[in-house]
Amino acid sequence: MIEFAATRPVTHILGCHIEMTNESGVDYPVLTTYQPDEPPLQMTTRQLRDIREAIDEIRDRPGRYPFPGFVICHRGE
């Protein structure tokens, strides 16, 4: 997706499973169905690159990794 966005006039990408509040790094509790303060669904192409860099940093280490604007939860293999 990063390469695709780099060669086309992409301004936003639609994310999914936000589950995070407007406070960076703070998730709603698991199974919460009412999440009125989620950030918007659209992500910038910069955020996509930030996520890729975070994945490269985490590598295959299981855990919960909060970053500005997103959280990666990696259960491991």
Q: Find the largest Cα–Cα distance for the chain.
A: 38
Q: Which amino acid is at 28?
A: Y
| pTM summary value | 0.79
| Owning domain of residue 7 | 2-74
Q: Is 66 helix (H, G, I), strand (E, B) or coil?
A: strand
Number of structural domains in the chain? 1
Residue 36 DSSP class: T
Per-residue pLDDT of the chain (77 residues), as tens digits, is 999 998 999 988 887 777 888 888 888 888 898 999 888 888 889 989 999 999 999 999 999 999 888 888 888 76
